[in-house]
């Protein structure tokens, strides 16, 4: 019989060893590490130990990720609370950027808003002109863009050179058009990569969109 046939036979006849218990007395298998022969029972114990080590490693990784998620969730709460405390809506763009840097330890944060920016705020850095291509790029972002900053217009918005960037479109609800773009930058090329998870970045974008969508509406109201 071929080896695979024997393996299939044993899988299909699980009661074989209970009916032929004497076979255990003659069976020896090589130790997986030092090469000496051990009984089948010992080999099974070693296999179970290896399996337990693998499960323990997976559990430790799950616990680590859970702790990280809990920490980020707490930071999101702190950041959101700060945004809600802002009464002067004209200051919200600066607050969004500064608080993101502080709360999440992000090297650089900047943004651009367009469409109905109040005239008295038109000289602000976040209200400066953005190309049509960048607007179309923001409109097409259903999830945050993460990757190298080269060849991106947003890379020029930062005070110092960056190597990687996360770009988050700002929009009202499910609107197809974005009204702005939030940019997180880092001199570390591995900080934002195209294979990283973006769930929390999406949450940041939703909260920032809800806060910043009030800038034009509320400021216009105060002028009237």
- What pLDDT band is residue 223 in, cutting at 50, 70 and 90? very low
What integer is the mean pLDDT of 67-77? 83
Tens digit of each residue's pLDDT (9 = 90 or more) over 41-62 = 676 777 788 888 888 888 888 8
Q: What confidence category does residue 187 fall into, taking pLDDT thresholds of 50, 70 and 90?
A: very high
DSSP calls for 4-30: HHHHHHHHH-TTHHHH-GGGGGT-EEE
The torsion region of residue 173 among left (phi > 0), alpha (psi -120 to 50) and beta comes to left
Q: What is the mean pLDDT of residues 16-23?
A: 73
pLDDT score for 40: 62
pTM: 0.69
Residue 26's pLDDT is what? 65
The alpha-helical segments, DSSP class H, found in the chain are 3-12, 16-19, 40-84, 92-104, 132-139, 199-212, 214-223
- What own/partner pairs with CB < 8 Å and gap ≥ 24 does 157-162 have? 157/110, 157/112, 157/125, 157/183, 158/108, 158/110, 158/183, 158/185, 159/108, 160/108, 160/187, 161/187, 162/107, 162/108, 162/186, 162/187
Segment 30-44 shows an average pLDDT of 63
Quote the mean pLDDT of the chain.
85
Stretch 196-213: mean pLDDT: 92
Query: How many Cβ atoms from other residues are within 10 Å of residue 111's Cβ?
Result: 24
pLDDT of amino acid 152: 94
Chain segment 109-128, per-residue pLDDT in tens: 999 999 878 888 889 999 99
- Alpha carbon distance 176, 60 (integer Å): 41
**Is a pLDDT exceeding 70 seen at residue 218?**
no
CATH superfamily name and code, 88-223:
GAF domain (3.30.450.40)
pLDDT tens, position by position, 141-152: 999 999 999 989
Position 6 confidence tier, pLDDT thresholds 50, 70, 90? confident
């Amino acid at each position: 019989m071929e080896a695979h046939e024997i393996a299939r036979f044993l899988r299909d006849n699980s009661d074989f060893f209970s009916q032929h218990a004497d076979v255990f007395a003659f069976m020896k298998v090589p130790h997986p590490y030092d090469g000496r022969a051990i009984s089948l029972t010992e080999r099974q114990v070693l296999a179970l130990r290896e399996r337990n080590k693998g499960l323990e490693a997976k559990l430790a990784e799950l616990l680590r990720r859970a702790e990280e998620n809990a920490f980020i969730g707490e930071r999101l709460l702190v950041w959101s609370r700060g945004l809600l405390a802002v009464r002067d809506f004209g200051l919200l763009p600066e607050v969004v950027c500064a608080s993101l840097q502080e709360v999440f330890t992000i090297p650089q944060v900047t943004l651009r808003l367009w469409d109905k920016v109040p005239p008295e705020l038109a000289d602000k850095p976040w209200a400066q002109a953005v190309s049509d291509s960048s607007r179309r790029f923001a409109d097409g972002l259903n999830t945050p863009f993460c990757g190298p900053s080269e060849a991106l217009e947003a890379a020029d918005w930062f005070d110092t050179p960056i190597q990687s960037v996360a770009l988050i479109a700002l929009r009202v609800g499910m609107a197809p058009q974005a009204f702005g773009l939030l940019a997180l930058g880092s001199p570390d090329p591995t900080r934002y990569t195209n294979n990283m998870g973006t769930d929390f970045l999406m949450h940041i974008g939703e909260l920032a969109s809800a806060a910043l969508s009030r800038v034009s509406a509320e400021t216009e109201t105060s002028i009237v």
